[in-house]
Structure 1
Amino acid sequence: MILAAEPGLADFGKLLVYSAMAVYTVAFLAYIAEWTFGSRSKVARTAAALGAGAPPGKPAAADGDAVRVTVRAAGGSTRVLTRPRVITRSATPARDGVPDGPGAAGGDERGDTYGRIAVSLTVLAFLLHAGGVLLRALAVQRAPWANMYEFSTTFSLVAVGGFLGFLAARRNVRWLGLPLVTTVLLDLGLAVTVLYTETDQLPPALQSIWLWVHVSLAIVCGAMFYLGMVATVAFLLRDRYEGRLADGGTPGRFSASVLERLPSSVSLDKFAYRINAVVFPLWTFTIIAGAIWAESAWGRYWGWDPKEVWSLITWLGYACYLHARATAGWRGRKAAYLAIAAFLCFLFNYYGVNMFVDDSLHSYAGVED
Structure 2
Amino acid sequence: MMHTYFFILTAILYLGCALLPSRQRKTISTVVALAWLLHGAALWADVVGPDEVRVGFSMMLSATLWVSVAAYWLENRNYTLDGLRVLVLPTAALTVLLPGLFPGNMVSLVGKSPVFLWHIVISILAYSTLTIAAFHAVLMVLQESRLHTRPGSAHTTWFGAALDRLPALLTMEKILFRLIAFGFLLLTLTVASGVVFSEELFGTAFKWDHKTIFTMLSWALFGLLLIGRKWQGWRGRTALSFTLTGFAILLLAYVGSRFVLEVVLHRVLV
Question: Shorter-chain TM-score: which interval?
Answer: 0.7 to 0.9
Determine the structure 1 residue equivalent to 2:69.
Answer: 160
AA in 2 matched with 1:141? P
Give CA-to-partner distance per residue, 1:4-26, whole Å, 9 cap, x none: xxxxxxx1112211221222233
8 A contact 1:234–1:268 mirrored in 2: no
SS of the residue 1:28 aligns to? helix
Deviation of 1:313 after TM superposition, in Å, equals: 2.7
Query: Which of 18, 21, 34 does residue 11 from structure 2 map onto?
Result: 21
Q: 1:328 to 1:124 in 2, by over 3 A?
A: same
CA RMSD of aligned residues (A): 3.3
Matches within 5 A, 1:206-245: 207-242=112-147, 244=148
Using the alignment, how far apart are the partners of 1:325 and 1:16 within structure 2? 41
Deviation of 1:336 after TM superposition, in Å, equals: 0.6
8 A contact 1:13–1:135 mirrored in 2: yes
Determine the structure 1 residue equivalent to 2:174.
Answer: 270
AA in 2 matched with 1:264? A
Matches within 5 A, 1:3-152: 11-30=1-20, 34=21, 111-113=22-24, 116-136=26-46, 140-141=49-50, 146-148=55-57, 150-152=59-61
Q: 1:27 to 1:127 in 2, by over 3 A?
A: same
- In structure 1, the gaps of 5 or more residues are 1-10, 35-110, 365-369
Structure number with bigger Rg: 1
8 A contact 2:130–2:247 mirrored in 1: yes
Deviation of 1:272 after TM superposition, in Å, equals: 0.5
Q: 1:142 to 1:174 in 2, by over 3 A?
A: farther
Deviation of 1:290 after TM superposition, in Å, equals: 1.4
Q: 1:211 to 1:172 in 2, by over 3 A?
A: farther
Give CA-to-partner distance per residue, 1:149-171, whole Å, 9 cap, x none: 5544444333323332333x534
Deviation of 1:317 after TM superposition, in Å, equals: 3.0
Which structure features the higher share of helix residues? Answer: 2
8 A contact 2:54–2:104 mirrored in 1: no
Give CA-to-partner distance per residue, 1:232-272, whole Å, 9 cap, x none: 22322333344x38xxx546463985444321111111221
8 A contact 2:84–2:162 mirrored in 1: no
Deviation of 1:116 after TM superposition, in Å, equals: 4.8
Is 2:86 the partner of 1:175? Answer: no
Determine the structure 1 residue equivalent to 2:156.
Answer: 254
Determine the structure 1 residue equivalent to 2:101.
Answer: 193
Using the alignment, how far apart are the partners of 1:354 and 1:174 within structure 2? 33
Using the alignment, how far apart are the partners of 2:55 and 2:104 within structure 1? 12
Determine the structure 2 residue equivalent to 1:281.
Answer: 185
TM normalised by structure 1 equals 0.60
Query: Which of 253, 262, 269 does residue 349 from structure 1 map onto?
Result: 253
Using the alignment, how far apart are the partners of 2:219 and 2:41 within structure 1? 32
Using the alignment, how far apart are the partners of 2:29 and 2:237 within structure 1? 30
Give CA-to-partner distance per residue, 1:328-349, whole Å, 9 cap, x none: 5953113212212222333332
Deviation of 1:295 after TM superposition, in Å, equals: 2.4
AA in 1 matched with 2:45? L
Using the alignment, how far apart are the partners of 1:196 and 1:188 within structure 2? 14
8 A contact 1:175–1:262 mirrored in 2: yes
Q: Once the two structures are aligned, what percentage of the paired residues are identical?
A: 18
8 A contact 1:311–1:346 mirrored in 2: yes
Determine the structure 2 residue equivalent to 1:325.
Answer: 229
- In structure 2, the gaps of 5 or more residues are 263-267
Using the alignment, how far apart are the partners of 2:220 and 2:243 within structure 1? 11
Using the alignment, how far apart are the partners of 1:157 and 1:258 within structure 2? 21
AA in 2 matched with 1:338? F
